[in-house]
Amino acid sequence: MTRTPLMAGNWKSNLNHQEAVVLVQKLAWTLKDAKYSASQVEVAVFPPFTDIRSVQTTIESDRLEFAYGAQDLSPFDSGAHTGDVSGEFLAKLGCTYVIVGHSERRTDHGEDDETVAAKSRAALSHGLTPVICVGETAVDREAHGASAVPVAQLRVVLETLSKDSDIVVAYEPVWAIGSGQAATPLEAQEVCAVLRATIAEVMGSDAADRTRILYGGSVKSQNIASFMREKDVDGALVGGASLDVDEFSRIVQFPKHIIA
């Protein structure tokens, strides 16, 4: 099965709504000049909540070929949950995706695997595709190897989802996020292959074939092509480099750097 590569820019807590519009417009111009086609590589941006309405308006009014989503959502649909943003609101804003279980939320907000599972279900119930982040710390890796923790994290979520769920998985070794020290393509491939086998075991082989697995952690234009050569890496979740339009557009244009 052919999976369309997905390049996802996680802006984290950066860019206000005016800066967000400027970035999206510049990205569109840069990729248009480069003759980018969404049928070859899908681009998605993940702005802060407060930018989403402006990003939606820009993308819709200029008919840009970008998807967008949120960096988190509430496990609840509505009610007395101060500060929470529900999947219903995100769907109403035209979001396609929502990131769940990013390591920064697991660390800063104590989110455990059950919370990530509840958020994934909340996303799916509103027609949003959860981008489920998993990954090991350096200490986990030392103690248990690379794949044990990400596989265990993913399994808890998958076991609560229906088998036909449309999901994206992001393998993000915590030690590689924002550190400038990316995993090697082979390290990424080995864990992504085990994650795909886990999807097959829990959700079936069709789900494993169609689900895109992204690598995340210090992805740059210089290393993206080497990750994308790997069989089980279907794209990237990009943090810092997604804030630089030229750099992110070079990442999106990775097929130009791959010599068949």
Residue 91 corresponds to which tokens in the numbers above? Answer: 């769907």
74 binds ligand PEP per the rule CB under 6 A:
no
Say whether residue 131 binds ligand PEP (CB under 6 A): no
State CA 207 to chain mean position distance.
17
Residue at token pair 């681009």: 43
Q: Which of residues 231-260 bind ligand PEP (CB under 6 A)?
A: 237-241
Residues recorded for the chain:
260
Strand 42-46 with 6-10, pairing: parallel
- Nearest approach in angstroms of CB 83 to ligand PEP is 21
Total of chain residues touching ligand PEP, rule CB under 6 A: 13
Q: How many angstroms separate the CA atoms of 76 and 93, rounded?
A: 17
The Cα–Cα gap between 225 and 223 comes to 6
Q: Which residue shows structure tokens 């949003």? A: 128
Smallest gap from residue 39 Cβ to ligand PEP (A) = 25
**120 touches ligand PEP by CB under 6 A:** no
Smaller CB separation from ligand PEP, 136 or 207 = 136
Q: Which of 42, 172, 187, 230 is catalytic?
A: 172
Tell me 128's DSSP state. -
Nearest residue to 135 (alpha-carbon basis) of 237, 50, 203? 237
Active site residue 102: yes
Q: Does 69 bind ligand PEP (CB under 6 A)?
A: no
172: annotated active-site residue:
yes
Distance CA(7)–CA(241), nearest Å, equals: 11
Query: Which segments within the chain are labelled E, that is strand?
Result: 6-10, 42-46, 66-70, 97-100, 129-134, 168-171, 212-216, 235-238
Q: Which of 246, 260, 219 is nearest to 6 (CA)?
A: 219
Determine the interface stretch with ligand PEP among 15-23, 68-76, 193-201, 212-220 (rule: CB under 6 A): 212-220
Residue 207 or 241 having the CB closest to ligand PEP: 241
Q: How far is the CB of 69 from ligand PEP (least distance, A)?
A: 13
Residue nearest ligand PEP, Cβ-based: 239
Taking residues 165 to 194 in sequence order and writing x for each that binds ligand PEP by CB under 6 A, - otherwise, the string is -------x----xx----------------
The minimum distance between CB 167 and ligand PEP, in angstroms, equals: 17
Q: Which of 102, 104, 111, 230 is flagged as catalytic?
A: 102
Where in the sequence numbering do the catalytic residues fall?
102, 172
Binding region for ligand PEP (CB under 6 A): 10, 172, 177-178, 216-219, 237-241
